[in-house]
Amino acid sequence: MLELGLKVLASYLLGAVNGSLLLGWLKGIDIRTQGSGNAGGTNALRTQGWFFALLVMAIDVGKGFIAPWLLPGLDLPGIGLDPEVSREWLLLACAGAAVFGHCYPVWFNFQGGKGAATAVGALLAVAPAMLIVAGLIWGGTLVLSGMVGLATMASAVSLPIWCLFTAGSGPLLIFLVLLAVFVLFTHRSNIRRILQGEENRMERAMLLRRSR
């Protein structure tokens, strides 16, 4: 159990290295005082431009991938690999901890992003085929609505449904359900703005807008 605790903690700490906050600190700005105030890739794009946003995405996706890809099989000196710890559950726990760390980073007063990019990295390590489904749902929702937040929530909710019908129940389904609930929670402000008709739209990405 010591192995489980240490690796989950390490995954959280890695996830807490928030790309937009780290790069903003190096640049002398706090992204949380810019635009929507969210420390994520979308706000980084809107306020700092494409290059800054791409660097943010590289960091956030990268840490989400590294935590579950590297840590579960890492033989820690003096601890080793605990035979009583399920490798599958440890993989998923590390993935979840990295996403949680991004949203509530200890290094930045527990005020981070909404977890989408880090979740993409985690899925790349845990279930890469799921990214195809998520990408199709995300892209389709974006071109129809122009809402990045809605696209992210739709893709997150679609994954456990897809998993249920293709792979059945199991640890992965539980992980995807918890991830979808967490994404909805971190996007609660988006849900409120959508219901109030105040959500920002990326009109250049909207198919219906372009066809007019």
The tens digit of pLDDT for each residue in 48-86 reads: 888 998 999 999 999 999 999 999 988 888 888 888 889
- Is the pLDDT confidence value at 212 over 60? no
- Is the pLDDT confidence value at 205 over 80? no
Contact 175, 92 (CB under 8 A): yes
Secondary structure (DSSP) of 13-24: HHHTS-HHHHHH
Q: Is 1 helix (H, G, I), strand (E, B) or coil?
A: coil
Contact 143, 160 (CB under 8 A): no
Contact 97, 12 (CB under 8 A): yes
